[in-house]
Structures are given as C-alpha cells and as structure tokens.
Structure 1
Amino acid sequence: MKQAEIKRLFVLEFYGTMAAYKAARKNDYCKVQLEWSCFIDGLCRDGVISQTQYNSATF
C-alpha cells in the first residue's frame, strides 16, 4: 500500500472528506495526530503495511 493510499484511507475512515480532516486538524491537531498514530499502528499490526512503511508514515 502506497503512502497516498494510506492517507486517503485514513481521511475517509475518520473524517469522510479532506475538508473535514483539515477542519479537525485546525481545531485539535494533537487529537488528529494521535488518531493517525493509532491508525498506522493498527495497519502495521494487521500486516497491511510493513514496518518500514510504518516508520516512514507521516501526514
């Protein structure tokens, strides 16, 4: 799974739209970062992404 796909999946799953994601990030950046961290951790634990992808996953 490519980085862009991971980001798109995160936005769709948690916020539905990029606009909603940006608004949430503006309102509570730390909360969004925690959700992102938990999301990519889950993908790695489930074997969807590799440890290398996990280590380089930034948003």
Structure 2
Amino acid sequence: MKISAKPIVNMVYKAYLRSRLVRCTRDLQTIAAQRENDFHAERILHREVVKVRSKLHSL
C-alpha cells in the first residue's frame, strides 16, 4: 500500500497560506487604524493651530 504525500503537502501548504493571509489582513487593519488615528490627531492639531493664529493676529 503506497501512501501519497501530495494531499498532506497540500493541506500543510493551504494552512500556511491561510496563516499568512490572516497575518497580512491583521497588519493591514492595524495600519488602517493608525492612519485613522493620525487623521483625527491631525485635525485636532490643525484646529489648535488655527486658534493660536487667530489669537496671535488679534493682539
């Protein structure tokens, strides 16, 4: 009785690819969250700059 290694190799390779896909997806979600946080921080900072400029011009 000869056992083929191909199905086992395919299963392992598919598991490896799924694992990589999950990791890449998680990394992309992390990057997207960081960009969103950066966007909000930039808006807050911009608002502060506008306030300070207007106070400076009013003096």
Give the structure with the higher percent helix.
Answer: 2
Is the TM-score greater than 0.5? no
Smaller-chain TM-score bracket: 0.3 to 0.5
Structure with the greater alpha carbon radius of gyration: 2
With normalisation by structure 1, the TM-score equals: 0.34
